[in-house]
Amino acid sequence: MSDDVLDGAVALIVDDNAGSQLFLGRWLTRAGMSIRVARSGGEGLELAQRQPDLIIADVEMPDMSGLDVTARLKADPLTQHIPIIQRSSVPIGDSARVEGLTAGADAYLVEPIREDVLVATARALVRYRNLSRQLELALSLDVTGVYDWAVPTGLVRWSESLERIHGMAVGEFGGTFDDFVATVHPDDRERITGELEAALAAADSIEIAFRFVRTDGSFGWIESRGRIFRDGDGVAVRLLGLAHDVTSREFERRRLEQLRRLASALTAARTTAEVIKIVGREVEGSNVDVALVDDDTPCAVDVTFSYLAGGQRLEVTVHPGDLYGVSRAQATAIGELAGGALDRTFRYEAERSNAVALQRALLPARLPEIAGWSIDAEYVPASADDRLGGDFYDIASLPEYFVVVLGDVAGHGLQATQQMGTVRILLRTLVASHDGEPATVLQRAAELFSTVCGVGSPFVTAIVARFHVESGRVDIASAGHPGPIVRCNGSAMMLDVQPGPPLGVGAPARGRTVGIELEAGAWLALYTDGVFETRAGSIDDAIGEATSDLGDRLAAGQLIEAGDAIVGLNLDDRAVVVVTRGLTR
């Protein structure tokens, strides 16, 4: 018979998507769980009253958000102890995870979700639920002792049960206040004597908690409540009370806190190194060792728990002999949480590596050399794994013109990067077939977008600038993209280009073409919104501040640095192309 904590446990899936219900239910059923399904937040709140062992709630539902469902469940005394996994079907940033965990979620998973990651997370949370139930039982079985202190004489009497709590034989306790103080943990003695003195001076009762030392040198926790009796003059003459040995409860509480703290910290980890650092910090100084080794490394015979992830093996080893160290069950729970986090970070790292390689491969291998013109371009990938996106630029040479195209795919990750390649090829083809005329290129791209990219694909902002080599005239049109910065006559400003809608949004609509003439020595800079996007203010304000310091000569990297100086920490990818007309022909 299996002793898996998921066998016979009940999971409630709160999700209006039939496909999600199917694969989540199938995975958890294979792991031994029984499944209940709610197709709305309201139905989920109702079914949660039946006390499932685990709830998996989608962030987006037709009647209320998953955050609202989680907050209401955690506010209800009947359901507040049920562990909740929030699930998002779209990429999210750290702020969204923080919001979900703040609402009360115990874990946060983002598509694509692997079966083993879901099951490992469910197992750790259900184990946490079971430990909570055991804790409730332990509280009802606390060993209790009675003490009676004759304050004027200093004599103290203990019940036999209180002596046993301290590991003493019956009658072994010395019977004085000093003998009691000697049993208190040295680090707690000064505090406890101070609290007792204050209570004897003015109070009628006292509640204290402290660590005590047993006769074998081990220590535990006691919670005590007592009543103070006074004579006719108000002088304390007696303290009578109960002492509860809450050692088991306290250790369990600390272990449960450790799992919750670790699960929360691992949610923010983005790399395997961060996962190992977080887990190592959590078990530092304990009887547990954690290591990540190559899969082909021989497994040590004393390893308590191992987990394969990304071609490497996580090993958790518990050293015996520490009475109050981490238990094997606790170490296993720690390992499962860490293993799930490693699966996620290995996937993030692989996706980021593939996306960066694909982005680099799709950018122009070299910039064209055009007599009388200077072109400089720069692409900076996102510094955050979950912000890697689909920014791109392209430059095409035609008989009388050269055309610069910049674009930005909505969303992040490998999907955005793959779509970036498709859109770049589409725009390059249209530039060649329509003589680079900006509004026409964007109009045709909007008409073909769904056919080429697929219905429901993320929308794309784009800007097309066609430069006439001889005259210096520039024609520009935008599909939801910010206008370029141009420097003429010694001053830089943002060019007002009235944009049409982004590609993939609404019915195709022609944007208005704006024409200017670049004088000798003037430059024009095109960029993606990540260069100046800031949560502290508007992008127009950020661009205005940056343009005040731009000089007669500008490199693409300088514009990115100017944006960073205003925006601060920038997590998005960024692309910039700067075109300068030469002083002489």
Among 401, 443, 412, 411, CA closest to 426: 443
CA distance 228 to 223: 17
pLDDT value, residue 516: 92
What is the spatial distance between Cα 52 and Cα 48, in angstroms, rounded to a whole number?
6
Tell me, what's the pLDDT at 142?
47
Task: Count Cα atoms within 13 angstroms, Cβ side, for 31.
Answer: 25
pLDDT computed for residue 140 by the predictor: 40
Right CATH for 363-581 from 3.10.180.10, 3.60.40.10, 3.40.109.10, 3.90.25.10: 3.60.40.10
- Pairing of the two strands 373-380 and 288-294: unpaired
Confidence at residue 254, expressed as pLDDT on a 0 to 100 scale: 80
Report the predicted TM-score, pTM, of the whole model to 2 decimal places: 0.46
Q: In terms of DSSP H, where are the helices of 295-408? A: 328-362
The conformation of residue 482, written as its DSSP 8-state character, comes to: P
Nearest-angstrom CA–CA distance, 148 and 243? 11
Q: Topology of 143-245 in CATH?
A: Beta-Lactamase (3.30.450)
Cα–Cα distance for residue pair 338/312, rounded to 1 Å? 13
Q: Which residues pair with 515 in a beta bridge?
A: 475
pLDDT the model gives residue 554: 87
**423 three-state secondary structure:** helix
Mean pLDDT for each consecutive 10-residue tract of the chain (585 residues)?
74 90 91 92 91 90 86 87 85 74 84 87 86 52 80 92 90 95 94 95 93 89 93 91 88 83 83 85 82 77 77 81 70 83 77 66 80 91 60 91 92 71 89 93 91 86 94 94 86 86 78 87 90 69 73 85 73 86 68
Q: Which residue shows structure tokens 């954690």?
A: 290
Q: Give the torsion through C-alpha atoms of 411, 416, 417, 419, to 10 deg.
A: -140
Helix (H, G, I), strand (E, B) or coil at 433: helix
Name the residue among 407, 445, 422 with its Cα closest to residue 528.
407
pLDDT at 180: 96
Joined together, the tokens standing for residue 533 give 């996007």
Assign 528 to helix, strand or coil: coil
CA contacts within 13 A on the Cβ side of 445? 38
What lies within 8 Å, CB to CB, of 98 at 6+ separation is none
Four-way CATH pick for 1-111: 3.40.50.720, 3.40.50.2300, 1.10.150.170, 3.40.50.300: 3.40.50.2300
Burial category of 148 from C-beta neighbours within 10 Å (exposed 0-12, middle 13-18, buried 19 and up): middle
Name residue 573's amino acid: D
DSSP-derived secondary structure letter, 530: G
Give me the residue spans of the domains in the chain. Answer: 1-111, 143-245, 256-359, 363-581
- Whether 251 contacts 286, CB under 8 Å: no
d(CA 5, CA 119): 11
pLDDT at 412: 67
Provide the pairing of β-strand 155-158 with 143-150: antiparallel
Report residue 254 as tokens.
């600390």
